[in-house]
A and B are shown apart, each in its own frame.
Chain A
Amino acid sequence: MKKFIIAIAFCGTIVLFPSCSRDLDPVSPASMNGQYALGIKALVPFAIGNTWIYDVVLYDTTGGERARYSFTLSVIDTVNADTNRIPILPPNTTRAYLTKDPNSLKWYRLQGEMGKITYWQIDGLENLRIRKNDDTLYFQQMVFDYRASVGSSTATSFLGADTAYWGSGDVVVMAPDSVRFQLVAKADTIRTTLGSAPYYKYWQSFSLRSDSINYYFKPGFGLILYEQFQRRADGTMVCVRRDKLDSYYFR
Protein backbone atom coordinates (compact mmCIF):
# COMPACT_ATOMS: atom_id res chain seq x y z
CA MET A 1 0.00 0.00 0.00
CA LYS A 2 2.84 2.33 0.89
CA LYS A 3 4.48 1.75 -2.48
CA PHE A 4 1.20 2.40 -4.24
CA ILE A 5 0.79 5.77 -2.48
CA ILE A 6 4.35 6.71 -3.41
CA ALA A 7 3.62 5.77 -7.00
CA ILE A 8 0.48 7.95 -7.11
CA ALA A 9 2.36 10.89 -5.55
CA PHE A 10 5.10 10.46 -8.11
CA CYS A 11 2.58 10.44 -10.93
CA GLY A 12 1.15 13.73 -9.65
CA THR A 13 4.62 15.26 -9.60
CA ILE A 14 5.15 14.25 -13.19
CA VAL A 15 1.88 15.80 -14.28
CA LEU A 16 2.65 19.08 -12.53
CA PHE A 17 6.32 19.38 -13.42
CA PRO A 18 5.96 20.40 -17.07
CA SER A 19 3.91 23.47 -16.19
CA CYS A 20 6.88 24.92 -14.30
CA SER A 21 9.04 25.28 -17.36
CA ARG A 22 6.76 26.96 -19.88
CA ASP A 23 8.27 30.40 -19.47
CA LEU A 24 11.72 29.37 -20.69
CA ASP A 25 11.12 30.33 -24.26
CA PRO A 26 14.10 31.72 -26.17
CA VAL A 27 12.35 31.56 -29.52
CA SER A 28 9.13 33.07 -28.34
CA PRO A 29 7.67 35.33 -31.02
CA ALA A 30 6.50 37.71 -28.35
CA SER A 31 7.42 40.60 -30.59
CA MET A 32 5.43 39.05 -33.36
CA ASN A 33 2.02 38.83 -31.76
CA GLY A 34 0.80 41.36 -34.23
CA GLN A 35 2.38 44.35 -32.55
CA TYR A 36 4.90 45.31 -35.20
CA ALA A 37 8.07 47.06 -34.19
CA LEU A 38 7.65 49.67 -36.87
CA GLY A 39 8.80 53.21 -37.14
CA ILE A 40 5.46 54.26 -35.79
CA LYS A 41 5.27 57.81 -37.02
CA ALA A 42 7.44 57.50 -40.08
CA LEU A 43 5.95 57.45 -43.54
CA VAL A 44 8.49 54.75 -44.32
CA PRO A 45 10.02 52.42 -41.71
CA PHE A 46 13.74 52.20 -42.33
CA ALA A 47 16.01 49.39 -41.26
CA ILE A 48 18.73 47.68 -43.23
CA GLY A 49 17.16 44.65 -44.83
CA ASN A 50 13.66 46.05 -45.10
CA THR A 51 12.20 45.12 -48.47
CA TRP A 52 9.12 46.08 -50.45
CA ILE A 53 7.97 44.26 -53.57
CA TYR A 54 5.79 46.21 -55.99
CA ASP A 55 3.57 45.03 -58.83
CA VAL A 56 3.73 47.48 -61.70
CA VAL A 57 1.15 47.88 -64.44
CA LEU A 58 1.81 50.22 -67.37
CA TYR A 59 -1.06 51.63 -69.42
CA ASP A 60 -1.20 53.43 -72.74
CA THR A 61 -2.96 56.74 -73.05
CA THR A 62 -6.21 55.00 -74.02
CA GLY A 63 -6.20 53.17 -70.68
CA GLY A 64 -5.21 49.81 -72.16
CA GLU A 65 -2.74 47.65 -70.26
CA ARG A 66 0.67 47.78 -71.89
CA ALA A 67 3.00 45.85 -69.57
CA ARG A 68 3.11 44.21 -66.16
CA TYR A 69 6.12 43.38 -64.00
CA SER A 70 7.45 43.51 -60.45
CA PHE A 71 10.45 45.05 -58.77
CA THR A 72 11.96 45.05 -55.33
CA LEU A 73 12.92 48.05 -53.26
CA SER A 74 15.41 47.24 -50.51
CA VAL A 75 17.23 49.12 -47.80
CA ILE A 76 20.83 48.15 -48.43
CA ASP A 77 22.73 50.19 -45.87
CA THR A 78 23.21 53.64 -44.43
CA VAL A 79 25.65 56.30 -45.55
CA ASN A 80 26.70 59.67 -44.32
CA ALA A 81 26.54 62.32 -46.98
CA ASP A 82 29.98 63.57 -47.93
CA THR A 83 29.89 67.21 -46.89
CA ASN A 84 32.87 67.96 -49.12
CA ARG A 85 30.70 67.16 -52.11
CA ILE A 86 27.66 69.09 -50.95
CA PRO A 87 27.33 72.50 -52.62
CA ILE A 88 27.46 75.49 -50.27
CA LEU A 89 24.23 77.41 -50.18
CA PRO A 90 24.36 81.18 -49.69
CA PRO A 91 24.55 83.00 -47.35
CA ASN A 92 26.87 80.29 -45.93
CA THR A 93 30.45 80.52 -46.99
CA THR A 94 31.76 77.34 -45.37
CA ARG A 95 30.45 73.81 -44.96
CA ALA A 96 30.42 74.05 -41.18
CA TYR A 97 26.65 74.50 -41.09
CA LEU A 98 26.20 71.14 -42.77
CA THR A 99 27.59 69.31 -39.76
CA LYS A 100 25.57 71.10 -37.09
CA ASP A 101 23.18 68.18 -36.99
CA PRO A 102 25.13 65.00 -37.77
CA ASN A 103 21.91 63.00 -37.93
CA SER A 104 20.79 65.06 -40.90
CA LEU A 105 23.66 63.60 -42.89
CA LYS A 106 22.65 60.00 -42.28
CA TRP A 107 20.70 58.52 -45.16
CA TYR A 108 19.40 55.08 -45.99
CA ARG A 109 20.59 53.72 -49.30
CA LEU A 110 17.82 51.97 -51.19
CA GLN A 111 18.06 49.89 -54.33
CA GLY A 112 14.97 49.85 -56.50
CA GLU A 113 13.76 49.24 -60.01
CA MET A 114 16.54 48.20 -62.43
CA GLY A 115 19.05 48.53 -59.59
CA LYS A 116 18.51 52.27 -59.27
CA ILE A 117 20.04 53.63 -56.06
CA THR A 118 18.30 56.41 -54.17
CA TYR A 119 18.81 57.86 -50.73
CA TRP A 120 15.97 58.17 -48.24
CA GLN A 121 15.72 59.84 -44.85
CA ILE A 122 13.20 60.72 -42.19
CA ASP A 123 14.34 64.12 -40.95
CA GLY A 124 13.93 65.69 -37.54
CA LEU A 125 10.48 66.96 -38.47
CA GLU A 126 9.41 63.46 -39.55
CA ASN A 127 9.38 64.50 -43.19
CA LEU A 128 10.40 61.92 -45.75
CA ARG A 129 13.23 63.07 -47.99
CA ILE A 130 14.39 61.27 -51.13
CA ARG A 131 17.41 62.29 -53.18
CA LYS A 132 19.56 60.95 -55.99
CA ASN A 133 22.83 59.22 -55.32
CA ASP A 134 25.06 62.11 -56.27
CA ASP A 135 25.99 64.44 -53.41
CA THR A 136 26.51 67.32 -55.82
CA LEU A 137 22.73 67.08 -56.26
CA TYR A 138 22.28 66.98 -52.51
CA PHE A 139 19.63 69.65 -52.39
CA GLN A 140 17.57 68.17 -55.18
CA GLN A 141 15.34 66.36 -52.76
CA MET A 142 11.76 65.26 -52.88
CA VAL A 143 10.18 66.23 -49.59
CA PHE A 144 7.00 64.74 -48.20
CA ASP A 145 5.80 66.93 -45.36
CA TYR A 146 4.46 64.61 -42.67
CA ARG A 147 2.93 67.37 -40.59
CA ALA A 148 1.32 69.27 -43.44
CA SER A 149 -2.35 70.02 -43.26
CA VAL A 150 -4.51 68.64 -46.02
CA GLY A 151 -4.37 70.89 -49.07
CA SER A 152 -1.09 72.57 -48.23
CA SER A 153 1.92 72.32 -50.53
CA THR A 154 5.64 72.45 -50.15
CA ALA A 155 7.53 75.29 -51.76
CA THR A 156 8.59 74.54 -55.29
CA SER A 157 12.08 73.14 -55.56
CA PHE A 158 14.34 72.36 -58.46
CA LEU A 159 14.96 68.90 -59.83
CA GLY A 160 17.59 68.45 -62.48
CA ALA A 161 17.40 66.30 -65.55
CA ASP A 162 17.06 62.61 -64.89
CA THR A 163 16.60 59.40 -66.77
CA ALA A 164 14.53 56.53 -65.44
CA TYR A 165 14.92 52.98 -66.66
CA TRP A 166 11.78 50.98 -66.12
CA GLY A 167 11.58 47.25 -65.81
CA SER A 168 9.48 47.18 -68.98
CA GLY A 169 12.43 48.47 -70.98
CA ASP A 170 11.09 51.99 -71.22
CA VAL A 171 13.62 54.78 -70.88
CA VAL A 172 12.01 57.91 -69.52
CA VAL A 173 13.99 61.11 -69.92
CA MET A 174 12.92 63.89 -67.60
CA ALA A 175 13.91 67.47 -68.27
CA PRO A 176 14.90 69.84 -65.46
CA ASP A 177 11.84 71.20 -63.73
CA SER A 178 10.44 72.72 -60.60
CA VAL A 179 8.45 70.39 -58.42
CA ARG A 180 6.18 70.62 -55.44
CA PHE A 181 4.30 68.19 -53.28
CA GLN A 182 0.81 68.72 -51.98
CA LEU A 183 -0.77 66.65 -49.23
CA VAL A 184 -4.06 65.85 -50.91
CA ALA A 185 -5.65 63.52 -48.40
CA LYS A 186 -5.03 62.11 -44.99
CA ALA A 187 -7.81 59.63 -44.74
CA ASP A 188 -9.44 59.09 -41.37
CA THR A 189 -7.96 60.40 -38.16
CA ILE A 190 -5.37 59.09 -35.78
CA ARG A 191 -7.10 56.33 -33.91
CA THR A 192 -4.58 55.41 -31.25
CA THR A 193 -1.67 56.90 -29.41
CA LEU A 194 0.57 55.00 -31.79
CA GLY A 195 -0.20 57.61 -34.39
CA SER A 196 -1.67 55.53 -37.13
CA ALA A 197 -3.65 56.55 -40.18
CA PRO A 198 -4.80 54.55 -43.22
CA TYR A 199 -2.69 56.48 -45.69
CA TYR A 200 -1.27 59.81 -46.68
CA LYS A 201 -1.76 60.88 -50.28
CA TYR A 202 0.69 63.34 -51.80
CA TRP A 203 0.33 64.86 -55.26
CA GLN A 204 3.53 65.73 -57.08
CA SER A 205 3.15 68.33 -59.79
CA PHE A 206 5.61 70.13 -62.03
CA SER A 207 5.88 73.58 -63.50
CA LEU A 208 6.63 72.51 -67.06
CA ARG A 209 5.89 68.82 -67.29
CA SER A 210 2.34 67.86 -68.02
CA ASP A 211 2.42 64.69 -65.98
CA SER A 212 1.78 64.31 -62.26
CA ILE A 213 2.24 61.62 -59.67
CA ASN A 214 0.22 60.43 -56.69
CA TYR A 215 2.13 58.89 -53.78
CA TYR A 216 0.19 56.94 -51.14
CA PHE A 217 2.10 56.23 -47.95
CA LYS A 218 0.84 54.19 -45.06
CA PRO A 219 2.71 55.33 -41.95
CA GLY A 220 4.68 52.47 -40.52
CA PHE A 221 4.51 50.48 -43.75
CA GLY A 222 5.86 52.76 -46.49
CA LEU A 223 4.81 53.56 -50.02
CA ILE A 224 1.79 51.43 -50.79
CA LEU A 225 0.66 52.95 -54.08
CA TYR A 226 2.26 55.05 -56.80
CA GLU A 227 0.26 56.42 -59.70
CA GLN A 228 1.72 58.38 -62.57
CA PHE A 229 -0.63 60.37 -64.76
CA GLN A 230 -0.11 61.88 -68.17
CA ARG A 231 -2.10 64.64 -69.84
CA ARG A 232 -3.77 63.66 -73.08
CA ALA A 233 -4.25 65.93 -76.08
CA ASP A 234 -7.80 66.64 -74.98
CA GLY A 235 -6.53 67.86 -71.62
CA THR A 236 -7.73 64.91 -69.55
CA MET A 237 -5.34 63.02 -67.30
CA VAL A 238 -4.85 59.29 -67.70
CA CYS A 239 -2.96 56.87 -65.47
CA VAL A 240 0.04 55.47 -67.33
CA ARG A 241 1.74 53.66 -64.48
CA ARG A 242 0.52 52.12 -61.23
CA ASP A 243 2.79 50.48 -58.63
CA LYS A 244 0.96 48.54 -55.93
CA LEU A 245 2.71 47.19 -52.87
CA ASP A 246 2.42 43.42 -53.05
CA SER A 247 4.50 42.26 -50.12
CA TYR A 248 7.03 43.54 -47.64
CA TYR A 249 9.56 42.26 -45.18
CA PHE A 250 10.64 44.27 -42.16
CA ARG A 251 13.51 43.31 -39.97
Chain B
Amino acid sequence: MIGGAAMTTWTSVLSWKAIMKRSVMLSVIVLLALTTGSAQQTGGLEILVSSGVALPASPMSFSDYWNVQYGGSVGVGIPLSQSVTIIGAVEYFRFTLNAEGVRDRINTEYLRDTWLFNDVSLDPSADPSSVATFSANVRMSPSDLTGWLAPHLIAGAGLMHVSLSETFIPTTSAISPDGVDISMTAQRSIRGGEETEAFFQIGLGFDVRVSDALGVFVEGRYVHGLSKGLSTSYVPLTAGARYSL
Protein backbone atom coordinates (compact mmCIF):
# COMPACT_ATOMS: atom_id res chain seq x y z
CA MET B 1 0.00 0.00 0.00
CA ILE B 2 2.85 2.40 0.93
CA GLY B 3 4.68 1.61 -2.31
CA GLY B 4 1.52 2.19 -4.23
CA ALA B 5 1.02 5.57 -2.59
CA ALA B 6 4.62 6.61 -3.35
CA MET B 7 4.25 5.57 -6.97
CA THR B 8 1.06 7.56 -7.25
CA THR B 9 2.80 10.66 -5.86
CA TRP B 10 5.78 10.26 -8.24
CA THR B 11 3.40 9.85 -11.17
CA SER B 12 1.59 12.98 -10.07
CA VAL B 13 4.84 14.96 -9.95
CA LEU B 14 5.75 13.79 -13.45
CA SER B 15 2.34 14.68 -14.74
CA TRP B 16 2.48 18.10 -13.15
CA LYS B 17 5.87 18.83 -14.73
CA ALA B 18 4.66 17.66 -18.10
CA ILE B 19 1.55 19.79 -17.80
CA MET B 20 3.62 22.86 -16.86
CA LYS B 21 5.97 22.33 -19.80
CA ARG B 22 3.13 21.90 -22.25
CA SER B 23 1.31 24.92 -20.83
CA VAL B 24 4.34 27.15 -21.36
CA MET B 25 4.77 25.89 -24.92
CA LEU B 26 1.08 26.38 -25.64
CA SER B 27 1.22 29.91 -24.24
CA VAL B 28 4.11 30.79 -26.53
CA ILE B 29 2.32 29.41 -29.57
CA VAL B 30 -0.84 31.28 -28.69
CA LEU B 31 1.04 34.56 -28.20
CA LEU B 32 2.74 34.17 -31.59
CA ALA B 33 -0.59 33.42 -33.21
CA LEU B 34 -2.15 36.47 -31.60
CA THR B 35 0.48 38.88 -32.81
CA THR B 36 1.44 37.57 -36.26
CA GLY B 37 -0.38 38.67 -39.40
CA SER B 38 -2.45 41.55 -40.62
CA ALA B 39 -5.04 43.44 -38.68
CA GLN B 40 -8.57 42.10 -38.73
CA GLN B 41 -10.97 44.21 -40.74
CA THR B 42 -14.34 45.32 -39.40
CA GLY B 43 -16.88 43.53 -41.61
CA GLY B 44 -20.61 43.69 -42.15
CA LEU B 45 -23.30 41.48 -40.67
CA GLU B 46 -22.10 38.13 -39.31
CA ILE B 47 -23.88 34.80 -39.52
CA LEU B 48 -22.86 32.32 -36.82
CA VAL B 49 -23.54 28.60 -36.68
CA SER B 50 -22.22 26.28 -34.02
CA SER B 51 -22.74 22.89 -32.46
CA GLY B 52 -21.34 20.99 -29.54
CA VAL B 53 -22.12 19.51 -26.20
CA ALA B 54 -23.68 20.90 -23.05
CA LEU B 55 -22.66 19.70 -19.63
CA PRO B 56 -25.55 19.99 -17.15
CA ALA B 57 -24.43 21.64 -13.92
CA SER B 58 -27.54 22.10 -11.80
CA PRO B 59 -30.01 21.16 -10.44
CA MET B 60 -28.70 17.80 -9.32
CA SER B 61 -31.58 15.99 -11.00
CA PHE B 62 -30.42 17.59 -14.24
CA SER B 63 -26.67 17.22 -13.88
CA ASP B 64 -26.61 13.64 -12.63
CA TYR B 65 -29.47 12.17 -14.57
CA TRP B 66 -29.11 13.64 -18.05
CA ASN B 67 -26.60 13.46 -20.90
CA VAL B 68 -26.56 15.75 -23.89
CA GLN B 69 -27.79 14.13 -27.10
CA TYR B 70 -27.29 16.93 -29.59
CA GLY B 71 -27.56 20.68 -29.85
CA GLY B 72 -26.34 23.85 -31.43
CA SER B 73 -27.09 27.45 -32.16
CA VAL B 74 -27.53 29.98 -34.90
CA GLY B 75 -26.96 33.69 -34.52
CA VAL B 76 -26.53 37.01 -36.18
CA GLY B 77 -23.74 39.41 -35.25
CA ILE B 78 -23.53 43.14 -35.77
CA PRO B 79 -19.99 44.48 -35.41
CA LEU B 80 -19.95 47.76 -33.55
CA SER B 81 -16.22 48.16 -33.78
CA GLN B 82 -13.17 46.08 -34.52
CA SER B 83 -13.35 44.56 -31.05
CA VAL B 84 -17.03 44.57 -30.07
CA THR B 85 -19.85 42.64 -31.74
CA ILE B 86 -23.47 42.41 -30.68
CA ILE B 87 -24.87 38.90 -31.25
CA GLY B 88 -28.41 37.65 -31.17
CA ALA B 89 -28.56 33.87 -30.93
CA VAL B 90 -30.97 30.99 -30.60
CA GLU B 91 -29.62 27.83 -29.03
CA TYR B 92 -31.14 24.40 -28.44
CA PHE B 93 -29.84 21.34 -26.64
CA ARG B 94 -31.59 18.00 -26.25
CA PHE B 95 -30.78 15.60 -23.43
CA THR B 96 -31.39 11.89 -22.88
CA LEU B 97 -31.66 10.07 -19.59
CA ASN B 98 -28.42 8.91 -18.00
CA ALA B 99 -29.76 5.64 -16.61
CA GLU B 100 -26.46 4.75 -14.99
CA GLY B 101 -26.41 8.12 -13.26
CA VAL B 102 -29.84 7.45 -11.83
CA ARG B 103 -28.83 3.98 -10.64
CA ASP B 104 -25.70 5.39 -9.03
CA ARG B 105 -27.67 7.96 -7.07
CA ILE B 106 -30.49 5.73 -5.87
CA ASN B 107 -29.33 3.26 -3.35
CA THR B 108 -31.07 -0.02 -4.05
CA GLU B 109 -28.66 -1.86 -1.77
CA TYR B 110 -30.29 0.00 1.07
CA LEU B 111 -33.62 -1.52 0.14
CA ARG B 112 -32.18 -5.00 -0.03
CA ASP B 113 -30.17 -4.84 3.15
CA THR B 114 -32.52 -2.95 5.40
CA TRP B 115 -35.85 -4.14 4.11
CA LEU B 116 -34.59 -7.65 3.60
CA PHE B 117 -35.60 -8.26 0.02
CA ASN B 118 -34.06 -11.08 -1.95
CA ASP B 119 -33.23 -8.79 -4.80
CA VAL B 120 -33.85 -5.20 -5.86
CA SER B 121 -33.59 -3.83 -9.38
CA LEU B 122 -34.10 -0.38 -10.85
CA ASP B 123 -35.15 0.37 -14.41
CA PRO B 124 -35.26 4.14 -14.97
CA SER B 125 -36.84 5.71 -18.05
CA ALA B 126 -37.83 9.17 -19.23
CA ASP B 127 -38.67 11.14 -22.33
CA PRO B 128 -35.94 13.47 -23.60
CA SER B 129 -35.45 16.84 -21.95
CA SER B 130 -34.43 20.04 -23.66
CA VAL B 131 -33.19 23.56 -23.12
CA ALA B 132 -33.79 26.37 -25.62
CA THR B 133 -32.45 29.88 -25.26
CA PHE B 134 -32.85 33.19 -27.01
CA SER B 135 -30.13 35.62 -26.08
CA ALA B 136 -28.50 38.94 -26.79
CA ASN B 137 -24.75 38.93 -26.29
CA VAL B 138 -21.70 41.10 -26.48
CA ARG B 139 -18.54 39.57 -27.89
CA MET B 140 -15.31 41.38 -27.16
CA SER B 141 -11.96 40.73 -28.77
CA PRO B 142 -8.71 42.59 -28.16
CA SER B 143 -8.50 45.21 -30.88
CA ASP B 144 -4.72 45.32 -31.24
CA LEU B 145 -4.16 41.66 -32.01
CA THR B 146 -3.03 41.13 -35.56
CA GLY B 147 -2.71 37.34 -35.75
CA TRP B 148 -4.90 34.61 -37.19
CA LEU B 149 -5.92 33.51 -33.69
CA ALA B 150 -7.90 35.81 -31.44
CA PRO B 151 -9.45 35.18 -28.05
CA HIS B 152 -12.83 36.58 -27.25
CA LEU B 153 -15.01 37.06 -24.24
CA ILE B 154 -18.74 36.71 -24.55
CA ALA B 155 -21.43 37.76 -22.13
CA GLY B 156 -25.14 37.96 -22.57
CA ALA B 157 -28.61 37.49 -21.25
CA GLY B 158 -31.97 36.35 -22.48
CA LEU B 159 -34.78 33.90 -22.01
CA MET B 160 -34.38 30.20 -21.41
CA HIS B 161 -37.08 27.54 -21.75
CA VAL B 162 -36.29 24.38 -19.83
CA SER B 163 -38.32 21.22 -20.29
CA LEU B 164 -37.21 18.59 -17.80
CA SER B 165 -39.08 15.32 -18.25
CA GLU B 166 -40.41 13.26 -15.39
CA THR B 167 -38.04 10.40 -14.66
CA PHE B 168 -39.71 7.12 -13.85
CA ILE B 169 -37.72 4.99 -11.46
CA PRO B 170 -39.68 1.76 -10.96
CA THR B 171 -37.89 -0.24 -8.33
CA THR B 172 -38.71 -3.93 -8.27
CA SER B 173 -38.14 -5.82 -5.06
CA ALA B 174 -38.33 -9.59 -4.83
CA ILE B 175 -39.39 -11.58 -1.79
CA SER B 176 -40.55 -15.18 -1.41
CA PRO B 177 -42.83 -15.73 1.56
CA ASP B 178 -43.33 -19.48 1.97
CA GLY B 179 -41.91 -20.08 -1.50
CA VAL B 180 -44.36 -17.80 -3.33
CA ASP B 181 -42.31 -15.48 -5.53
CA ILE B 182 -43.43 -11.88 -5.33
CA SER B 183 -41.89 -9.12 -7.42
CA MET B 184 -43.39 -5.89 -6.23
CA THR B 185 -42.64 -2.71 -8.11
CA ALA B 186 -42.59 0.70 -6.52
CA GLN B 187 -44.11 3.19 -8.94
CA ARG B 188 -41.85 6.11 -8.18
CA SER B 189 -40.76 9.06 -10.22
CA ILE B 190 -38.68 12.20 -10.00
CA ARG B 191 -40.84 15.05 -11.07
CA GLY B 192 -39.74 17.21 -13.94
CA GLY B 193 -41.20 20.47 -15.06
CA GLU B 194 -41.24 23.20 -17.63
CA GLU B 195 -40.03 26.68 -16.95
CA THR B 196 -39.27 29.82 -18.87
CA GLU B 197 -36.81 31.99 -17.07
CA ALA B 198 -34.34 34.77 -17.58
CA PHE B 199 -30.73 33.72 -17.74
CA PHE B 200 -27.27 35.08 -18.16
CA GLN B 201 -24.24 33.56 -19.75
CA ILE B 202 -20.57 34.32 -19.78
CA GLY B 203 -17.80 32.60 -21.63
CA LEU B 204 -14.52 32.53 -23.40
CA GLY B 205 -13.56 31.43 -26.88
CA PHE B 206 -10.96 31.55 -29.58
CA ASP B 207 -11.47 32.64 -33.16
CA VAL B 208 -9.39 31.35 -36.03
CA ARG B 209 -9.53 33.57 -39.08
CA VAL B 210 -9.69 31.49 -42.24
CA SER B 211 -10.21 34.40 -44.60
CA ASP B 212 -11.41 37.98 -44.35
CA ALA B 213 -15.02 36.78 -44.41
CA LEU B 214 -14.85 33.36 -42.83
CA GLY B 215 -13.75 32.34 -39.38
CA VAL B 216 -14.14 29.37 -37.13
CA PHE B 217 -14.31 29.42 -33.37
CA VAL B 218 -14.46 27.32 -30.26
CA GLU B 219 -16.25 28.57 -27.21
CA GLY B 220 -17.04 27.58 -23.64
CA ARG B 221 -19.78 29.30 -21.68
CA TYR B 222 -21.50 29.08 -18.37
CA VAL B 223 -25.27 29.48 -18.67
CA HIS B 224 -27.29 30.11 -15.54
CA GLY B 225 -31.05 30.46 -15.15
CA LEU B 226 -32.25 33.12 -12.76
CA SER B 227 -35.49 31.62 -11.47
CA LYS B 228 -35.87 30.19 -7.99
CA GLY B 229 -37.53 27.10 -9.43
CA LEU B 230 -35.31 24.82 -11.44
CA SER B 231 -32.44 27.31 -11.47
CA THR B 232 -30.96 25.45 -14.40
CA SER B 233 -27.35 25.86 -15.33
CA TYR B 234 -25.11 24.14 -17.82
CA VAL B 235 -21.86 24.61 -19.68
CA PRO B 236 -22.02 24.52 -23.49
CA LEU B 237 -18.76 23.68 -25.23
CA THR B 238 -19.24 24.48 -28.89
CA ALA B 239 -17.37 24.85 -32.14
CA GLY B 240 -18.69 26.77 -35.09
CA ALA B 241 -18.16 29.09 -37.98
CA ARG B 242 -18.98 32.70 -38.65
CA TYR B 243 -19.33 34.36 -41.99
CA SER B 244 -19.20 38.10 -42.59
CA LEU B 245 -21.59 39.28 -45.28
Contact = CB atoms under 8 A, between A and B. Distances in A.
Contacts of A185: 178
B38 interface: no
Contacts of A1: 31
A227 B192 CA distance: 40
A142 interface: no
B96 interface: no
Interface string A180-200: 000001011001101011110
Nearest to A217: B177
Given A1-B31, A18-B235, A26 B57 contact: no
Contacts of B145: 3
Contacts of B105: 29, 33
Contact of A26 (B114, B184, B224, B229): B229
A103 B24 CA distance: 75
Contacts of B221: 14
Interface stretch (A61-69, A78-86, A240-248): A240-248
A250 B114 CA distance: 18
A86 B58 CA distance: 56
A28 B60 contact: yes
A36 B145 CA distance: 60
Interface of A: 1, 3-4, 7, 10-11, 14-15, 17-18, 21-22, 24-29, 32-36, 51, 185, 187-188, 191-192, 194, 196-199, 201, 214, 216, 218, 220-221, 224-225, 227, 242, 244-250
A18 B111 CA distance: 33
B220 A14 contact: yes
Nearest to A199: B177
A10 B153 contact: yes
B195 to A, nearest CB: 11
Interface of B: 27, 30-31, 34, 57-61, 63, 105-111, 113-117, 142, 145, 151, 153, 164, 169-170, 175, 177-178, 180, 182-188, 190-193, 202-204, 220-222, 224, 228-231, 233, 235
A204 to B, nearest CB: 15
Contact of A7 (B60, B107, B151): B151
A11 B26 CA distance: 15
Nearest to B107: A34
Contact of B61 (A25, A34, A220): A25
Contacts of B220: 11, 14-15
A34 B177 contact: no
B180 A14 contact: no
A191 B114 contact: yes
B115 A21 contact: no
Contact of B180 (A192, A242, A249): A242
Nearest to B62: A27
B184 A4 contact: no
Interface centre among B57, B111, B177, B186 (most CB of A within 10 A): B177
A28 B59 contact: yes
A249 B170 CA distance: 10
Contacts of B115: 196, 218, 220-221
Given A22-B60, A242-B180, A218 B175 contact: yes
B233 A21 contact: yes
A246 B184 contact: yes
Given A187-B177, A242-B180, A245-B184, A24 B231 contact: yes
B148 to A, nearest CB: 15
Contacts of B188: 32, 249
Given A18-B233, A18-B235, A34-B108, A29 B182 contact: no
Contacts of B107: 33-35
A80 B116 CA distance: 35
14 contacts: A14-B220, A18-B57, A33-B110, A34-B107, A34-B108, A34-B111, A36-B111, A51-B187, A187-B177, A201-B177, A246-B185, A248-B184, A249-B187, A250-B186
B114 A4 contact: no
Contacts of B116: 188, 191, 196-198
B222 A32 contact: no
Contacts of B178: 185, 201, 214, 216
Nearest to A38: B115
B175 A25 contact: no
Contacts of A28: 59-61
Contact of B230 (A27, A36, A221): A27
A249 B202 contact: no
Nearest to A239: B180
Given A18-B58, A198-B117, 16 more contacts: A4-B151, A14-B221, A21-B231, A22-B63, A24-B58, A24-B59, A25-B59, A32-B169, A33-B107, A34-B108, A191-B114, A220-B115, A224-B175, A247-B186, A249-B186, A249-B188
